[in-house]
Structure 1
Amino acid sequence: MLLNGFGFSGYRSFGNDLVKIGPLKKINFIIGQNNVGKSNIINFLAHHYPYFLSKIAKLSHPIAYNTKKTTFNEIDFHFSALKSIHRISFPIFKNEINSYMRDKQLRHTPELEKLLNYLYDNNGTIWFTYTIERIKKNEFLLETSNTNEIKALMEPHEWQQLWHDITDKSHININDWQEDFIGIEKILKILSVTPKSLPNVEIIPAIRKIGAAGSQASDFSGEGIIEKLAQIQNPLLSEQRHKEKFIAINHFLQNVLSNPTARIEIPHDRQMILVEMDNKILPLESLGTGIHEVIIIAAAATLLDETIVCVEEPELHLHPLLQRKLIKYLSEETSNQYFFTTHSAHLLDAVEAEIFHVTQFNGASQVEAISSTQQRSAICNDLGYKASDILQTNCIIWVEGPSDRIYLNYWLTSKNTNLTEGIDYSIMFYGGRLFSHLTGVDQDELSDSIDDFVSVRKLNRNAVILFDSDKSDPHARLNSTKQRLKAEFDKGPGFTWITEGREIENYLDPEKIESSVKAIHPSAAQLLQKSQWSNLLEYEKNTDSSKPPSKISNIRAANKVKVAKYYVEHYPADLTVLDLNKQIDRLCTFIASSNK
C-alpha cells in the first residue's frame, strides 16, 4: 500500500479542524452528497500533499515538486469568514508502532511510554501535525499544542532521561531547557515521522471521453488513450512486459461483456478503438457509454503502476453490476491504490475497502471514517437511498445455513473462477425452522390458506433453493414441505436442487470428512457410517480403556461450519460425486443467464 493515511486543514471547504483520512486500504471510497467537499480531498492529495511532504521531509521529486513556489492559489484557501490554519498531518497507527520503534531505534522506556500514551488519540493513533506558518515562504513547523500539559507529563529529570535515551546526550541544563519548551520540542521533532518517499498521484476526472486519433494528454481523462493502448498492444522489444497489461485489459473486457471472445484492438491508422467479438469487429463507441467509461478507467489504471489513482464518480453511466466488476478488477488486477469520490451506495460492498463519509457542518466540510453497519445505513439515508433503490445481485441461492454456503462457493469457484459472490449471485439462509414458511409462489398468487408464507420471489425472482433430501435410504420419500417447494421453485425462473445423498456433506469424500472431523475434534475416533445415506458428521469418541465403561453415549455430532472450513481449505473440489457436477453446471448456467 502506498499511503496509510493523511490529515489536513484550511483547504477550500475544510476549515480549522484537522481532517483525518485513515487508516487507508488499497480501495478507499469518499462518499457524500453533491458539493460537500469530496473532490477537495483528492485535489489536496494530488496537488498539494506531495509538495508539502517534499518541503517538510526535504524529499526531492523528479518532476513536479522541486519548485520553490507554493502550490496554493487564491481559491485554495478556506472560503468561510472563520480563521483557519493550514496544516498537514502524518499518522502512526497502532499496528505500526513496533516498526516505527525499530526505524527510530527507540526502546520502550517508562518515559517514552508516558509521552506516547499522551500522544495517542481515541483510536490509538499518533498524528504528527505540521503547521504551515508562512505558506508562501515554505515554512512548516511541527505543531506542539497544549505545551503546559506536555510539560506536566513528567518531572525534569524524566525529560532529561528521555532526552538521553533518544539522543545519547546528557549534558544539558534541564531547568532552563524545560522552561522555554525548546528541549521538549526537540524531543517531539526527533520522534516525529513523515513518509519516506513522495507518491505519484493521478486524477481520473469525472468528465471522460476517448480522444480523437493522434490526441495527446498528460492526464487520464481519455484523451490520448488510443496512443497509449497502441504502445502496449505492440510494445518495443525492450518493453515486452507491457504486453501483459494489454492482455489484462482484454480479460477485463471479456468479464464485463460476459463474452470470452471479446478483445480490443488498435488499428494501424489509430483512428479508433475496435472491439472484436463473435467474429464481428465494431468500434468501441457502438457498445454504449457504460463500456466506454469502464474501458477508460480500467485502461488508465492498468497503464499506471504503484500510483495513487483518484477517480471522480466512477459510477457515471454504469449499471450497479458494472460498477462492482470495475472496482473488483482494479482491486485484484492492478498495483495502484485508489480513492473514489462517489454518490453510489452500490460500491460500498464491492470489495474490502475503507469508506469515508463527507458532510458539511457550519459551512465547513468534515469527514467520518465508516466502520459499522449503522453508519453505512446513515450514508444511504444521506444520499437519499431507500431500501427499494438498493439493487440486489441478479440471482439468489437459498441454503439452510453457513456450511452449505461454504461448500457451494467452493464448488462454484472450482467450476467457474469468474463467478463472484456479491456480484454475480448472493447466498441467503432460510434456516431449518423457517423452511416450512417459505414459498416459491409470487406474493400476489398466494391463496388465503397460505397467506402466512413468505414469498422469496418478492425478494428476487431469479431464485434457486438447495436443501437436503434427509433420506436414510434410496426408497425414502421427501416430506410434504419439500415436495411443495420443489414444485413451486421448478416453475421458474430458477429451480430446486435436492441432494442426491442424505445431506450436502454426502457430496464429499467420506475419508476426507473423517480426517476433517478428527482435525476439528481431536477426541473423535471414527465416523459412525460412511455411506451415501448416512450422517457423515456423527462420530464416535475415543474411550479411555483404563476407566470403567461410561453410561453416557460416546456418539457426538461434529461442528458443521468448522468441518466445512477445514475441508475446503485442505482438499481440492471433486465434482464427480453423485450428481454434483450436473447440479453445479446447471447452477452456473442459471447464474450466467440471470446476469445477461
Structure 2
Amino acid sequence: MNIQGFGIKNFRSFDSDGIYLDGLKKINIIIGKNNCGKSNVLRFLQTLHSNLSDLNKFPNDIKNQHRRNGQSTILNLKVKGDNLPHNKDKFRRANGFDYNNFLEQFHNFDVNLNSQSINLPEQLNDLEWQQLIPFQSAYAQASAQQLLSKINESWKQSIIQKVKSTFKDLIYIPHLRVIKEGHQFGDSNSSINGSNIISKMFEMQNPEIGNENARDKFNLIQTFVRDLINKPDLEIEIPHTKEEIVLTIDGNRLPLDSFGTGIHQLVMLCSTLVIHDNSIVCIEEPEIHLHPELQRKFIKFLGKTKNIYFLTTHSNIFLDSRLNTSIYHVQNDGIKSTISHANRTTRTFSILNDLGYHSSDILQANGIIWVEGPSDRTFIIKWINLIDSTLIEGLHFSIMFYGGRLLSHISFQNEKLITDLIPLLKLNRNAYVLMDRDGFSSKTKINLTKRRIKEEIGDRNCWITKGREIENYLTEKTIQNWLEVDKVKINPDLKLEEIVSKIHKNKYNTAKTKYSKEIIKHITIEDLDILDLKLKVKQLTNRINDWNA
C-alpha cells in the first residue's frame, strides 16, 4: 500500500466531516463497541475494490449513504506535491510562490467516487496564471481559470490511477468462514472460496517446472501449522481430488475437519494469506473460534507475510502485539462514527471500557516487576533499556511499588493463602521482585521476610541486591559525573546517602526520585559491569521476554 493514510466521507455511519486513518502500518487494528461503525471501514475498502474498474458504479443508495443524505461517497487522500504532474524546469524559474515548499508538503484531495472529480488545494486558486504555468505546461499563455481546469484534469487522472493501483489487490474476509469444496470462504461479498484455497494449495504443493518458489509458500503454511499444534513431524497434503486438506500426524492421516474449529480456522486463514501476498487484507474479527494462545500465534504469523492488514476486533490480545501496528478506536454518538488513532498510553482505559473489560479481567502488561519505590523504578527502566531497548513499560511489563515495610504483608504463594498477606499472584501470575539486601555488611543474613518471599516466588523471579541497596550498583564513574567531582570511592556496604552527604550539600534521601533521574543520564552499558548487575538485568529481560512469548 503506497499511501500513508486515507479518509472516508458520506458512507454509512461516516458523515460529511468523515474519518481519517493516518499513520498506517503493516497491521491496522480497528476496535470499538458493537454497532459503532468499525466494520464500515472494511466494507468501504471492499466496495471500493469491487468498483475500481468503473468508480461511477460505487453504490450511492440508501443503504450506503450517511443517514440518507443523498451525497456521494468521498475518498480523501493526502498526496505529496512532487507526486503530482508538474514541469520541474519551470518550477526552478518560477517566482512569487514557494514551489519547493509545495512539492515537499502533503496535500488533501477529496475524490468524489461517483463523479471521479477532485478538489484542488485552495492556495492554487489565489495564484496568477504566470504562477500556475509550472503546474501545467499545455499552454504558453492562458487565463488562470483555463490553467486550473487543465491542472484539475491532469491531477484527477493521476490521483484516480493512484487509487486504482493502491487498492487493486484487496481481499475481504468476513466473520463467517468455511473451507470446503464449492462453499464460499465467507459471504457473497468475499472473493475467496473454499475450492479456491484448496486448488491453490494443490498448485503450490505440486508446482510446475520453473515455479519451484511456489513450494516455499506451501512449506510456510506447513511450518506454521506444525508450530500451531506442536507437531514438528506434521505433513499437509492436498489429495488429487482437491476436495479437502489432509493432515498426517503421528502416522495418522486425517482430514482438517477432524480437528478443532480453532485449528480449522487458522489453517484456512493462514493458507489464504500466504496465497494472496502483497495484498491489502481486510479481516472481520479474526479472533472468532481462537483462544488467546492461538490469537497470539496468528498475530506472529501476520508478521511473516507480505500483506497490509485491516482488522476489526473485540480482543485485547491484538492490542498487545509487538508487531508493526496502528490501533484505531471507533466511537458512535448515535448520529455518526468518529475514529481516533489510539495511543496505547492515553486511550487505553477508553478502549478497554468499549471492549467491555473490567479491571479484574486484565492487567495492562504481561508481567509485574515489584520494587520498593519510584527511584528503584527509574534505575530498573534504564538498565532494561540498555540490555533490550525493545521492551516497553506498560506493554511488556509494569513496575509496581511495595514500599519498605509493606513487604511483610505480601505473599507470592499461589497454593497457600495466608489471611494476613496479600496474594499478589492473583493480580498477575507473572511477577518478579527486587529487594535491597540491607544490613551493615555483605555478611549480614537476609531477614526472614525476604527469605520467605524468595522461597515463595523462586530464585529466577527474585533479585536481592548484592550490595547493600540498589544504589550500590552505581559505578564510581557514574557518581563522579553526576556530582562533577574527580574522585569518589564506592563501597558496596555503604549507603549512597552517606557518600553523597560527604560531597554534596543536599542529602540524597530527601529527593531520591529527582536525583535518580539525574543520575541515569550518566549511566552507560559499560556501567553494568559492577557486582552482579549485568547478570541480573539479563536474567530479568529474559523473564520479560518469556512473559511476552
Out of 42, 45, 68, the residue aligned to residue 81 of structure 1 is 68
1:320–1:514 Cα change, 3 Å: farther
Deviation at 1:167, TM superposition (A): 4.2
Asked if structure 2 preserves the Cα contact closer than 8 Å seen for 1:7 and 1:88, the reply is: yes
Q: Distance in 2 between matches of 1:185 and 1:567?
A: 65
Asked if structure 1 preserves the Cα contact closer than 8 Å seen for 2:442 and 2:468, the reply is: no
Look up the match of 1:335: 306
Alignment of 1:189-204 (within 5 A): 194=159, 195=162, 197-199=165-167, 200-204=169-173
Look up the match of 1:5: 5
1:396–1:361 Cα change, 3 Å: closer
Look up the match of 2:319: 348
Q: Indicate the SS of the match to 2:274.
A: helix
Q: Indicate the SS of the match to 1:348.
A: helix
The reply to whether residue 141 of structure 1 matches residue 105 of structure 2 is no
Look up the match of 1:390: 362
The reply to whether residue 227 of structure 1 matches residue 195 of structure 2 is no
Deviation at 1:50, TM superposition (A): 7.2
Alignment of 1:1-40 (within 5 A): 1-40=1-40
The reply to whether residue 265 of structure 1 matches residue 236 of structure 2 is yes
Task: Give the aligned CA root-mean-square deviation in angstroms.
Answer: 5.5
Deviation at 1:203, TM superposition (A): 1.0
Q: Once the two structures are superposed, what CA deviation does each residue of 1:332-387 show, in whole Å capped at 9, x if it has no partner?
A: 21111001122333322324422233334454444333336443432332333322
Asked if structure 2 preserves the Cα contact closer than 8 Å seen for 1:214 and 1:227, the reply is: no
1:278–1:411 Cα change, 3 Å: farther
Q: Distance in 1 between matches of 2:201 and 2:485?
A: 60
Deviation at 1:439, TM superposition (A): 1.9
Look up the match of 1:57: none
TM-score under structure 1 length normalisation: 0.66
Look up the match of 1:485: 453
Look up the match of 2:110: 129
Alignment of 1:320-331 (within 5 A): 320-330=292-302
1:284–1:216 Cα change, 3 Å: closer
| Structure 2 counterpart of 1:427, one-letter code | F
| Structure 2 counterpart of 1:326, one-letter code | F
Asked if structure 2 preserves the Cα contact closer than 8 Å seen for 1:261 and 1:278, the reply is: no
Q: Distance in 1 between matches of 2:215 and 2:519?
A: 46
Out of 131, 146, 150, the residue aligned to residue 162 of structure 1 is 131
1:215–1:402 Cα change, 3 Å: same
Q: Once the two structures are superposed, what CA deviation does each residue of 1:97-121 show, in whole Å capped at 9, x if it has no partner?
A: 6x6489874569662479969xx9x
1:74–1:467 Cα change, 3 Å: same
| Structure 1 counterpart of 2:328, one-letter code | F
Look up the match of 1:428: 398
Q: Distance in 2 between matches of 1:434 and 1:263?
A: 53
Asked if structure 1 preserves the Cα contact closer than 8 Å seen for 2:367 and 2:431, the reply is: yes
Q: Distance in 2 between matches of 1:464 and 1:278?
A: 39
Look up the match of 2:43: 43
Q: Distance in 1 between matches of 2:264 and 2:543?
A: 31
Deviation at 1:297, TM superposition (A): 1.6
TM-score under structure 2 length normalisation: 0.71
Q: Once the two structures are superposed, what CA deviation does each residue of 1:308-345 show, in whole Å capped at 9, x if it has no partner?
A: 01111111112234323312320x21111001122333
Q: Distance in 2 between matches of 1:254 and 1:77?
A: 43
The reply to whether residue 289 of structure 1 matches residue 261 of structure 2 is yes
1:353–1:213 Cα change, 3 Å: same
Q: Distance in 2 between matches of 1:235 and 1:273?
A: 17
Look up the match of 2:220: 248
Provide the identity percentage: 26
1:111–1:280 Cα change, 3 Å: same
Out of 426, 432, 436, the residue aligned to residue 458 of structure 1 is 426
| Structure 2 counterpart of 1:355, one-letter code | I
Out of 179, 196, 209, the residue aligned to residue 210 of structure 1 is 179
The reply to whether residue 111 of structure 1 matches residue 97 of structure 2 is yes
Look up the match of 2:499: none
Look up the match of 1:540: none
| Structure 1 counterpart of 2:108, one-letter code | W
Q: Once the two structures are superposed, what CA deviation does each residue of 1:427-481 show, in whole Å capped at 9, x if it has no partner?
A: 3324585685472246994555x6xxx5422311343435565799864433555
Asked if structure 2 preserves the Cα contact closer than 8 Å seen for 1:163 and 1:170, the reply is: no
1:441–1:360 Cα change, 3 Å: closer
Asked if structure 1 preserves the Cα contact closer than 8 Å seen for 2:30 and 2:310, the reply is: yes
Deviation at 1:390, TM superposition (A): 3.3
Asked if structure 1 preserves the Cα contact closer than 8 Å seen for 2:235 and 2:248, the reply is: yes
1:75–1:563 Cα change, 3 Å: farther
Structure 1, gaps ≥5 residues long:
53-64, 414-418, 538-550
Deviation at 1:182, TM superposition (A): 4.9
Q: Distance in 1 between matches of 2:452 and 2:368?
A: 19
Alignment of 1:393-472 (within 5 A): 396=368, 398=370, 401=377, 404=380, 426-430=396-400, 433=403, 436-437=406-407, 439-441=410-412, 445-448=417-420, 455-467=423-435
1:386–1:276 Cα change, 3 Å: same
Q: Distance in 2 between matches of 1:233 and 1:565?
A: 52
Aligned residues: 515
Q: Once the two structures are superposed, what CA deviation does each residue of 1:25-80 show, in whole Å capped at 9, x if it has no partner?
A: 1111222333343333222212325745xxxxxxxxxxxx2x69724374664163
1:314–1:586 Cα change, 3 Å: closer
Out of 469, 494, 497, the residue aligned to residue 462 of structure 2 is 497
Q: Indicate the SS of the match to 2:360.
A: helix
Asked if structure 2 preserves the Cα contact closer than 8 Å seen for 1:500 and 1:579, the reply is: no
Deviation at 1:211, TM superposition (A): 1.3
1:396–1:19 Cα change, 3 Å: closer
Q: Once the two structures are superposed, what CA deviation does each residue of 1:503-546 show, in whole Å capped at 9, x if it has no partner?
A: 9999x9x9xx999x89x99x9999978x9x799x9xxxxxxxxx
Q: Distance in 1 between matches of 2:227 and 2:369?
A: 22
Q: Indicate the SS of the match to 2:57.
A: coil
Asked if structure 2 preserves the Cα contact closer than 8 Å seen for 1:213 and 1:272, the reply is: no
Deviation at 1:128, TM superposition (A): 0.7
1:562–1:203 Cα change, 3 Å: farther
Asked if structure 1 preserves the Cα contact closer than 8 Å seen for 2:440 and 2:468, the reply is: no
1:472–1:502 Cα change, 3 Å: farther
1:223–1:377 Cα change, 3 Å: farther
Q: Distance in 1 between matches of 2:5 and 2:140?
A: 38
Q: Distance in 1 between matches of 2:107 and 2:61?
A: 31
Out of 337, 347, 350, the residue aligned to residue 375 of structure 1 is 347
Q: Indicate the SS of the match to 1:238.
A: coil
